[in-house]
Amino acid sequence: MNTKELPISVRDEIENVLDEFDFATVHKVMEFLEWNWFNAMDGIPTLSEIRKSARRLLIEVANDVARNNEIDAQSNRATGGLRAEAYKGDEKTYLKLSFELAKWDNYE
C-alpha cells in the first residue's frame, strides 16, 4: 500500500474519494445482509476495515495507471463488494470507487 510513488495530486484525489464516499451506508447494507469478509475480525467488516480495503484498492489502481506510459491507461480491482477504477487522461488521473451488490454484462 505505497503511495510514495504517486504524484501528490493523485494522493490528494485518493483522499478526496475516501472522504466523499458513503462508507456508513455500505456498512449498514453489509450488516443487514450479514455480508462477511473472511479477514474481518468479526465476520462483517467494520467501517475502518471497509475504508482500509477501499484505500488499498484505490492505491493499487492508481499505481497501475501511473506505471503505464499510455494515455487512456485503465485499471480496476474489486474485492468484498468494493470496486476501484482508475483512468489516466491527458492531464489527470480519474478515480472511481463503488460498492456493487449485483452486476451483469454480456460484453457484446
> Model confidence over 48-101: pLDDT tens digits?
999 999 999 999 999 999 988 888 999 999 999 999 999 998 889 999 999 999
Flag whether 1 is in a domain. no
pTM score > 0.75 for this model? yes
Q: In this predicted structure, what is the pLDDT of residue 61?
A: 96
Range of the domain at 51: 8-99
- pLDDT, one tens digit per residue, over 71-81 is 899 999 999 99
Q: What is the dihedral of CA 32, 34, 36, 41, to 10 degrees?
A: 80
Q: d(Cα 73, Cα 54) in Å, to the nearest integer?
A: 20
Number of domains in the chain: 1
Do 30 and 81 meet the contact criterion of CB atoms below 8 Å apart? yes
Stretch 13-24: mean pLDDT: 97
